[in-house]
Chains A and B, each alone.
Chain A
Amino acid sequence: MKWSYMDHWRSPSPNGPIDQWQTYDSMDRFLKQVAAVGYDAIDTFDHRYFTIIDQYGSVANYQEFVQERGLERIVNTFHAAAYDQRNYAPHIASTHDNILEDFRVTMDRWSGIQLDNIIVMPATLYYDMEPVTEDKIKTTAELWNKVGAITLDAGVKLTCHHEFFCGIQSKEELDTFYAYTDPALVNLFVDTAQHCIASVDPVEFYEKYADRVTGFHFKDTRHQDLVGDYRRRPDAELMGTTTPRWFHEMGDEGGLVDFEAFMRAVVRNGYDGWLSVEHDKANKLGGDHAESTAIARWYAKNVLEKVAREEAAK
């Protein structure tokens, strides 16, 4: 059982809060903290490519920097696209050529290392896609089937991560999307908190599509979206009315995700890939990324790994 940490780091500095990409020293400290508490690897965002080239010369060089601090490798990258109905919207077929070219370029940029997955939010913001119809989901699925072929040709799985505020987030929308996508080309990346917020039970959802799942974000939330924040303009993630902080590290109090049940399901289904931990925006409301990262790993080691052993012994 191997754990990877998904990059959302912020830390204090004499110049105010910074992320780890500012200097070699800030990256060194970030990686050592992640390694110290027992993560085996990291995930990152592929838009970091430009900083990587500027500071490390190549993606492979950056991975060596990671490995020198006791981490195995970079497992997954998240393709955080700037969706726009004018030129980059999966449900609008006229934008597909642009998107496909973006993935050809991206896979070439990251060809210097072996990734497991490239993770995408497969739809635009909800309000840019609504009304969400079967036709729009079908058009979206057609795009990702083509993208999946491109990434697979580069040896990387395409996997879909459904933010609660994206155009494919309800149980019905998810079922339609996975019915239209090719299981050989389009996979699922289950973010426990995002589905929980969208009132989709993460355990039930995972069980239903377990054979298509290529990874997870283990993260918690204290809130479900019961007021329609998912379609809030101009933003749901940071400006929602439900809470200024949607996400928390697993192992903290007040969380809604049943991680023990989730871990048992992971074991029952024979999943043998990496387990990623995430708690994006954990610094909101006085939170602290370093502490959250340690607390989540403590919970993984002292609670979830024991549960996994129990389940495996059944």
Chain B
Amino acid sequence: MIRWSYAINQWKPSFDDFTRRRDHERALRVISISGFTGVELTTGTGRWEPLGNPDQLAANFGSAAGFADFVHDAALEAVSSWFFDPLLGFREDLSGPADPADPAAHDSVVSHATWFAEALAELGGEVLVVRPTASAWQRPELDDAVIDTIAACWNDVGRAIAPLGIRLALHFDFLSALRSHDGLERLLAATDPALVGFSVDTGEFAAAGLDPVAFIEAHPDRVAHVQLKNAAAVDDDDEYLRRNAEHHVKKGGGEKPVPRWFLELGVAAGIVDAEAVVRALVSHGYDGWVTVESDLSPHPPTSAMLNGWYLQHVLQPITAAS
């Protein structure tokens, strides 16, 4: 059965936004009343990231269980998933960025992933979604040794969190180093299917010029999570290779420029066929969370409400008919 959650990341465009309890309560209520039953968190660090990691949840809500109560009070069932980028680093334990391509960093990646998975289990979640490696501009070469090292890291993480009931899902984005040198398929082949799943982010796939439906059809057993969002354009000028592409391309729009890479589901300007994605998931018996997302939305409540309308009027009829 597909369960529908919503990523809360769009509500926090900058580090000093979205810090107050009232902001969180209202965002969760908007998500709930728009028809979603779960919420996806994004990892962060420091006191201005109240939802960023287990320590901050404890500081603000007493404990993970306290935050779970807060989520339930908003009429949501669970925190579906947590997005974790190990290259972030955490002030909470004075850890720096941990690169899965560096064998010396694997213990740090595993311990932090376990930290999140333990909390996620308390929050009713099922999937730890991770950024598997750096951006392409940071790692232009991707030889077999690097792929094997990254794969070994995530195999270790998958092994560590499986006993907690949490699945691991590697998330591909359009700026990722995996976009070059057939990296996505090579990492897929190098990881243990029993331990490592993938998150299909439809908007990121589309922006990278990849077909998310084709990926689902080719690897249905590896799909452990879906982030469903629309895209406005394809980065067909390889701007993802540009230095600091996160700023110049993703937020700045690149040379075209693209005013906004990601859009609400079903809008005319979008290039993702969300109906086809859901049909593909249904046809393969996908059983898990689909997290609808609209990161970098200029107007988060409106994006959530429009996506909620599309969910209720277009996507759920597809799942109901199956």
- In the bound complex, do residue B306 and residue A32 qualify as a contact, i.e. CB atoms below 8 Å apart? yes
Q: Min CB distance, B9 to chain A, in Å?
A: 17
- In the bound complex, do residue B301 and residue A36 qualify as a contact, i.e. CB atoms below 8 Å apart? no
Counted as pairs of residues, one from A and one from B, with CB atoms less than 8 Å apart, the total is: 67
- In the bound complex, do residue B302 and residue A33 qualify as a contact, i.e. CB atoms below 8 Å apart? yes
User: How far apart sit A46 and B232, CA to CA, in the bound complex (Å)?
Assistant: 37
User: How far apart sit A35 and B301, CA to CA, in the bound complex (Å)?
Assistant: 14
Complex interface residues of chain A between 289 and 314 (CB less than 8 A to chain B): 290-291, 293-295, 297-298, 301-302
Residue from the set A35, A37, A251 with the largest chain B CB neighbour count within 10 Å: A37
Q: Does B256 contact A (CB under 8 A)?
A: no
- In the bound complex, do residue A302 and residue B75 qualify as a contact, i.e. CB atoms below 8 Å apart? yes
- In the bound complex, do residue B29 and residue A295 qualify as a contact, i.e. CB atoms below 8 Å apart? yes
Q: Does A288 contact B (CB under 8 A)?
A: yes
Given A36-B35, A301-B33, the answer on whether A12 and B298 have CB atoms closer than 8 Å is yes
Interface of A is mostly: helix
Complex interface residues of chain A between 2 and 29 (CB less than 8 A to chain B): 11-12, 29
Partner among B26, B33, B299 whose Cβ is within 8 Å of the Cβ of A297:
B33
- In the bound complex, do residue B312 and residue A36 qualify as a contact, i.e. CB atoms below 8 Å apart? yes
User: How far apart sit A291 and B34, CA to CA, in the bound complex (Å)?
Assistant: 11
> Which residues of A sit under 8 angstroms from B35, Cβ to Cβ?
36
Q: Does A70 contact B (CB under 8 A)?
A: yes
User: How far apart sit A35 and B306, CA to CA, in the bound complex (Å)?
Assistant: 9
> Which residues of B sit under 8 angstroms from A290, Cβ to Cβ?
299, 301-302, 305
- In the bound complex, do residue A294 and residue B309 qualify as a contact, i.e. CB atoms below 8 Å apart? no
- In the bound complex, do residue B305 and residue A32 qualify as a contact, i.e. CB atoms below 8 Å apart? yes
What total of chain B residues lie within 8 Å of the partner, measured CB to CB? 22
> Which residues of A sit under 8 angstroms from B33, Cβ to Cβ?
37-38, 294-295, 297-298, 301
User: How far apart sit A293 and B299, CA to CA, in the bound complex (Å)?
Assistant: 14
Q: Min CB distance, A129 to chain B, in Å?
A: 40
Complex interface residues of chain B between 92 and 136 (CB less than 8 A to chain A): none
User: How far apart sit A278 and B52, CA to CA, in the bound complex (Å)?
Assistant: 35
Q: Does B38 contact A (CB under 8 A)?
A: no
Q: Does A54 contact B (CB under 8 A)?
A: no
Return the CB mask of B27-68 against A: 1 if under 8 Å, else 0: 001101111000000000000000000000000000000000
Q: Does B308 contact A (CB under 8 A)?
A: yes
Given A11-B299, A37-B34, A298-B75, the answer on whether A291 and B306 have CB atoms closer than 8 Å is no
* Closest partner residue, chain A, to B28 (CB atom): A298
- In the bound complex, do residue B75 and residue A36 qualify as a contact, i.e. CB atoms below 8 Å apart? no
- In the bound complex, do residue B305 and residue A294 qualify as a contact, i.e. CB atoms below 8 Å apart? yes
> Which residues of A sit under 8 angstroms from B310, Cβ to Cβ?
32
Residue from the set B29, B34, B306 with the largest chain A CB neighbour count within 10 Å: B29
Q: Does A253 contact B (CB under 8 A)?
A: yes
Q: Min CB distance, B126 to chain A, in Å?
A: 24
> Which residues of A sit under 8 angstroms from B75, Cβ to Cβ?
298, 301-302
Top 7 nearest A-B pairs by Cβ distance?
A36-B309, A36-B308, A291-B301, A32-B309, A33-B305, A298-B33, A298-B29
A sample of 18 cross-chain residue pairs with beta-carbon separation below 8 angstroms, ordered by A number, consists of: A11-B299, A12-B298, A12-B299, A33-B306, A36-B34, A37-B305, A37-B308, A70-B313, A251-B29, A291-B30, A293-B305, A294-B34, A294-B301, A295-B26, A295-B30, A298-B74, A298-B75, A301-B75
The residues of B with any CB-CB pair to A shorter than 8 Å are: 22, 26, 29-30, 32-35, 74-75, 298-299, 301-302, 304-306, 308-310, 312-313
- Beyond contacts A290-B305, A294-B34: 6 other A-B pairs, Cβ-Cβ < 8 A, are A11-B299, A12-B299, A36-B35, A36-B308, A36-B309, A293-B305
